[in-house]
Structure 1
Amino acid sequence: MGNPEGSSVSFFLYWEVNLQIARGRLNDLRDRLGDYLPVARQNMGRDLLRTLLADRAMGTEQPLRRVDKYVNVLERSDEMRMLRLRRKTLNPDQRDDVADYERLEDLALVALGKKLFFTEQGTPGLAPEAVKVGDAVAIVHGSKTPMVLRGFEGAAREYRVIGQC
């Protein structure tokens, strides 16, 4: 179960690196966020994980109701890899943690080929790698999923869809 070790390690490293970037981005928005900054900083790990795993985008297969537990397992990924090596000797809590870790490995596949971005308000998003600074994020009428839109040069109010985000 789970992905090959190399791909899971890269996802977890990707999460850690981007968490640091996200926290730095929040500091850059200190004036804009005001009193909300400590709350945004505290929630960023959860918000980032939900974004990277496209929470709720896969219907009933992926509700991240236990996101705090998943964040905890992510923060202990080195320990989880070591526990997995001695699976037969684990206590029930350790087995649950390893199962959560392996579930994250499977869920992480949604982030492959995607790029993390941040809105001007510091909200993280996940989009196709083609996303660029200046693209717009909008919910198109009839869609449940936000889209990345790019305006045509020289054309007012005309956009092309870059992809879902």
Structure 2
Amino acid sequence: MKAGTRERFEALYWRHNRDLAAFIRRRVPVDAVEDVLAETFVVAWRRLSDIPNEERAWLFGVARNVIRNSYRAEARQRALHVRIAEGTTDRVAPFDDAIATRAELAHAWNQLSETEQEVIALVAWDDLSNAEAAQVLGVTTSAYAVRLFRARRRLLHLLERSSGGAR
């Protein structure tokens, strides 16, 4: 890391941290402010060379996108919980025969690791392609495809085991 890059980022942070935090505070619950602020500065760090002269406005736009993504993710989570609770889960083609009941699915899902849940969620809930999901995780598309295959296979195994192998 170049010293100039770090200094530029630190200057950006100190110039805009307070205003950006206030902007975020007006839009999200208090307990989420620090997370959104941190994620916004992570994006700024990654795209430091792309930041236009209107830094403040650009940072506000990034924060707005982070907030919107957070709300969308929360809405998807709530919708999933409702679908599971109501037993009206949308069927995904490869899982048609494997999804038995909402209780079995919820139980199997909870037995997956957070990593396995995330790998499946990126394509099933976030509607990302394998290439996009791989980019989110910072891995190659091939590595992501393998992770997805293994996570789906484990979910199917857990579902079969919970139903006594009746499938």
TM-score clears 0.5? no
Instruction: Select the structure that is richer in helix.
Output: 2
Whose radius of gyration is greater, 1 or 2? 2
